[in-house]
Amino acid sequence: MHALEMRVGQLRALVVVVAEGGVSAGARRLGVAQPTLTRAIQQLEMALGSPVLARGPGGLELTDFGRLLLPHAQRLLRAHEKAQEAASQLRGEPHAQLHIAASALPRLLLLPAASRALWAAYPEAQLQVSEAAYPHVLQRLDSGALDMAMCPVPLSQLPQAYEARELLTVELAVTMRADHPLRRARSLADLASCEWIAAGPSFGQGLPEAFARNGLPAPSCPVHCESLEHALRLVGHTTMLTLAPAEVVRQLPLADSLFQPPLRDQMPALTIVLLLPRRRALSPAAQTLLAALEQTARLMREAMR
């Protein structure tokens, strides 16, 4: 058994056969003959000393060993693809494939300016942005599917394998429908009997703490919503309330239907961090985007001061 003898093509054979659900479909996708693909898998098995696929009642299946190996293979393949892409960028080619995840606040406030810097340097860059919710993003960062993520993170719980860089801290404000019957409320106590949505940032945390800090029992919180935008959409159509940064609410198309009453209580703050796996290899294009995001955040922090 000598993992160092693995070849990229063999790892790809495994990953593609599994993804396509069979050798013939895999061979079609890779444009190779079926026996070639079968042999690549056999060679991988010989390199690693155990079968990875077996014929089961429902067709070709991963063995237990195959199940152990697959995520390693996917990670290695991805790292290899990224290495090729980085080499092409270092040769001065304009292509780049970036995949990041961001929660509403950084997506609305930081990304527009930062992505302009990316496209100025890499005019043909393809940028994918998906929703970021902690802790789901960690797994995608670890597998290499994401280059970086931006979202609120409970830093005390963040595993060692990730690095967090603070980008922006904003205050959360109570957000309600513009024509909410309690729009004249001036303290959390006035709103204690309302139903709340725990959303994105306040997910399970900020909300009860804000009430506790002001000497109030935790409010009724029947709905949990991962995405802040979904929560705000609900808020616009119900009498439920949520906590959201004014900076985000202002940017949304439904801003006019929402209202943030000025309360005298101290409200929780929300810190957005940029998450990176400690063990990483960022392409030059990804480094450009990273630098631009940090620069945009710095300018915004100065403007808010």
Partner 1 sequence: MEEMPLQHLLALSVIHDSGSITEAAQRLRLSQPALTRALRQLETHVGFTLFERHARGVTLTPSGQAFLAHAQLVQSLTQQTSEAVRQWHRQRPREVRIAAADVPMVELLPSALALLRHSAPDVRVRLMDATAPEIMACFREGLIDLALGPVPPHDPSDRLRIEPLMDAELVVAVAPNTMVSDNATLSCLRHLGWVVQGPLDGLPDPLGDWFARAGVEAPRRILSCESASTALQFITAEGFVGLLPEPLARPAQLRGQIRVLSINDTLPSRRMALFYPQTRPLDDAARMLYSAVRLALHHART
Residues found near partner 1 in the complex (CB under 8 A): 1-4, 6-9, 39, 42-43, 45-51, 54-56, 63, 65, 68-69, 72-73, 75-76, 79-80, 82-84, 86-88, 90-91, 279-282, 284
82 vs 177 by CB, closer to partner 1: 82
50 vs 227 by CB, closer to partner 1: 50
CA 35/CA 13 separation, integer angstroms: 11
Backbone φ, ψ for residue 219 (5° rounding): -80, 170
Taking the complex as a whole, the smallest distance from the CB of residue 276 to partner 1 amounts, in Å, to 12
89 vs 175 by CB, closer to partner 1: 89
CA 122/CA 88 separation, integer angstroms: 12
Taking the complex as a whole, the smallest distance from the CB of residue 12 to partner 1 amounts, in Å, to 9
Secondary structure (H, E, C), 126-189: EEEEEECCCCHHHHHHHCCCCCEEEEECCHHHCCCCEEEEEEEEEEEEEEEECCCCCCCCCCHH
148 vs 258 by CB, closer to partner 1: 148
DSSP element (H, E) containing 7: none
CA 139/CA 146 separation, integer angstroms: 9
| Six token digits for residue 28 | 């079609």
33 vs 68 by CB, closer to partner 1: 68
Three-state DSSP class for residue 304: helix
135: number of Cβ within 10 Å: 13
Taking the complex as a whole, the smallest distance from the CB of residue 272 to partner 1 amounts, in Å, to 25
136 vs 280 by CB, closer to partner 1: 280
Taking the complex as a whole, the smallest distance from the CB of residue 184 to partner 1 amounts, in Å, to 56
75 vs 136 by CB, closer to partner 1: 75
Three-state DSSP class for residue 102: strand
Residue corresponding to tokens 């309690």: 182
Q: What secondary structure does DSSP assign to 16-58, as a single string?
A: HHHHHTSHHHHHHHHT--HHHHHHHHHHHHHHHTS-SEEEETT
Taking the complex as a whole, the smallest distance from the CB of residue 43 to partner 1 amounts, in Å, to 7
